[in-house]
A and B are shown apart, each in its own frame.
Chain A
Amino acid sequence: MDLRPRSHPTYLAFVVHRVSGLLLALFLPLHFWALGTAISGEARFDGFLRWTENPLVKAAETGLVVLLAAHLAGGLRVMVLEFLGWRKRQKDMVALSAGLALLVGLLFLLNVV
């Protein structure tokens, strides 16, 4: 794919929104599986929770939170541009969404460390 015609901020925002949505969809079965372990026994679920204390898993969780926040902020951006008919400052909206997603990730990281 030729990236030259697509290298501008609103296109990047579109890609981030789509890709974060896909990755979150891929994560969902894992999430349900983890919840499922609670049904099959307390010990198994506690074991799983201990495993999530692993720093690598925490780092992955932070990534997940950023993905969630990016998808939410990207979605809000699309709603704003479609429903409020805001002509100007589209790139500022992209920057704002990205900033919001990273801020949420940072807050999560501060909380877990």
Chain B
Amino acid sequence: MAEPASLKVSVWRGGEQGDFARYEVPARANQTVLDVVTHIQRELDPSLAYRFACRVGMCGSCAMTVNGRARWTCRTHVRKVVGADGELELRPLANLPVIRDLAADLTPFFDKWQRAQGRFQPKDATDGAVPEEFAVVPPASKARREADAGIECIGCAVCYASCDVVTWNPDYLGPAALNRAWTLVNDVRDAGHGERLDAVAGDAGCHSCHSTQSCTERCPKNLDPSSAIAGLKRRLFWDTLLGRR
């Protein structure tokens, strides 16, 4: 695609109620969407609010809605998403309260990690003591491979913002929290399985997922939360049927 000399960027300004402001930003080679936002804030309008930290796809801070889709902006090249006439549309992440401009409030997102019992509860050290021996977990074991498949989540909330079930049911735990729960359910060192499965089995838990797989489609780390949710459903189905819970 021939690259236009400048980008016509529409940026959401305001809170839940607001409007788009338009900026003209010079197009550059290998420019990321975060570069564009930074240019606007440093050169054109210092009052623009947005969030970033690492700039290399590790911290999960800079996700926004770019031309209608949730993306990590620091690793999204402009040329991959820009319209033919240099149009870029930037909004804060969907399904989350807007603090201001491009900064969404991730509090509900992380609250749901807590509700899904997303913290590791060591079996050998329930009182906080350090276990005497290291746990031996064969990396090739089925459970460990399941856990490894979802462990690289950076908590960017792209999946959460892309999930229609979250839009329809604001209580729904969402793909990231359920993916986290599934990694812990498969962690043989963890002691909180029962409590965790109870936490994800409710009306706002894994059974609400309609498998549209938007989370898997949009995850910038190429994780598969949809498959993790299916794993939780399967585990709960058999555990309930066989009277294991």
Contact = CB atoms under 8 A, between A and B. Distances in A.
Contacts of A82: 211, 230, 233-234
Contacts of A90: 213, 216, 226
Contact of A11 (B94, B214, B227): B214
Contacts of A6: 164, 212, 214
Contacts of B68: 2, 4-5
Nearest to A8: B217
B218 to A, nearest CB: 8
A10 interface: yes
B179 interface: no
B213 A11 contact: yes
Given A2-B68, A5-B68, A5-B70, A85 B162 contact: no
B212 A10 contact: yes
A83 to B, nearest CB: 6
Contacts of B234: 82-83, 85
A46 B213 CA distance: 48
B217 A10 contact: yes
B67 interface: yes
Interface string B181-220: 0000000000000000000000000000011111011100
B176 to A, nearest CB: 16
A81 B230 contact: yes
A4 B162 CA distance: 11
B69 interface: yes
Contacts of A10: 211-214, 216-217
A14 interface: yes
Contacts of B224: 87
Contacts of A83: 234, 237
Contact of B230 (A4, A5, A11, A85): A85
Contacts of B217: 8, 10-11
A102 interface: no
Interface string A51-70: 00000000000000000000
B149 interface: yes
Contacts of B237: 83
B86 interface: no
A85 B182 CA distance: 13
Contacts of B69: 4-5
Interface of B: 65, 67-70, 94, 149, 162, 164, 210-214, 216-218, 224, 226-227, 230-231, 233-234, 237
Ranked 9 nearest A-B pairs via Cβ: A4-B68, A10-B213, A14-B212, A82-B230, A8-B217, A11-B212, A87-B227, A5-B69, A2-B68
